[in-house]
Amino acid sequence: LRTSSISQSTNKKQEFVKLDDKKVEKKDDEKRRDMSKVKCYNCKKEGHFAKDCKKAKVKDYNYYKTKILLAKKDNDEQVLFTGDQA
């Protein structure tokens, strides 16, 4: 629930607005997917999303190491590519 106050009125009554519609639509959309094909990026198992994973969020050293190496590789390729054209 979200509250909004009426500022122009002398009566400072709070009005409650229900915002559940968006969440319900999202849940319906998730139910339409075939969850057996969905892979969790946290524990690498199938059947659920990473946001629904029961395990602690993994901060994998190898993931970050690979990401840094790929970024360096892309940067090196850009330098070589621009050097070949000159």
For residue 85, is pLDDT > 60? no
Burial (CB count <10 Å: 0-12, 13-18, 19+), residue 53: middle
What three-state secondary structure class fits 18? coil
**Contact (CB, 8 A) for 45 and 35:** no
The number of domains in the chain is 1
Q: What is the per-residue burial (b if ≥16 Cβ within 10 Å, else e) of 13-51? A: eeeeeeeeeeeeeeeeeeeeeeeeeeebebeeeeeeeee
- Which residue range(s) make up the domain with 37? 2-85
pTM of structure:
0.32
Percent of the chain at pLDDT > 70 equals 53
- Condensed to tens digits (0 to 9), the pLDDT of residues 1-36 reads 555 555 555 566 677 666 655 555 555 655 677 888
